[in-house]
Copies of this chain bind each other. A is one copy, B any other.
Amino acid sequence: MKHDNKDKQGGMDTRRRILEAAEECFARYGYDSTGVAEICKAAAVSKGALYHHFATKQAIFVEMFETWMDGFAEQMQRIPQQADSVPNALLRMVKMIGVIFQRAAGQLPLFVEFLTKASRDPETWNATIAPYKFFRDFFADLIRRGIDEGSLRQVDPELTARIIVSFGAGLVMQGVFDPEGGRWTEVGVQGIQTILQGIVKGP
């Protein structure tokens, strides 16, 4: 998903500085109320430099979102390598939910503002649903590995991945929108354990 800019170090620094400044401005003023001029000022770069890296304000937002999701995906991908079985990997992943909540809490208004833009613009929309697609493929692979290693029954990997992603997405959504509404990490762990009881191989 990431931009593979092969510029010299200075170019990458500028790019990162713009992204960090934009994230700060968006969080403070909202997406709509932030102009490219403010981002330039906060990043201490010229408009020319900004437009060299990003065609539009929206492009900055999309890359911010993708970078955030990439970081999360990398963390997730490391877990199966460390866990001794697929069921244990799933349980370790769901325990990361707390970290997601913490990161997401302050970003909620920004995130829904982004969704609003996205729902009216096909290109942004694709960037928004790309993570779902990534996680579906990721979990389908994991389920296949579980079947191969003998820990899971012969379930449908694609379907089971969608069950897990539905549960995870709804859990994150509730945790972000209504943090006081439940002990969400516990709900996550129990939920995955319940789903596992339906898909693990019996004795």
Contacts and interface: CB of A to CB of B under 8 A. Distances in A.
A166 B163 contact: no
A56 to B, nearest CB: 20
Contact of A129 (B136, B167, B171, B177): B177
Interface in A152-201: 156, 158-160, 162-163, 165-171, 173-174, 177-178, 181-182, 184, 186-187, 190-191, 193-199
Contacts of A177: 128-129, 132
Number of copies: 2
Interface residues of A, number: 45
18 contacts: A112-B115, A133-B178, A133-B181, A136-B182, A159-B187, A162-B182, A162-B184, A162-B187, A166-B191, A169-B170, A170-B170, A170-B171, A170-B173, A173-B173, A193-B198, A194-B199, A196-B198, A198-B198
Interface of A: 108-109, 112-113, 115-116, 118-120, 128-129, 132-133, 136, 156, 158-160, 162-163, 165-171, 173-174, 177-178, 181-182, 184, 186-187, 190-191, 193-199
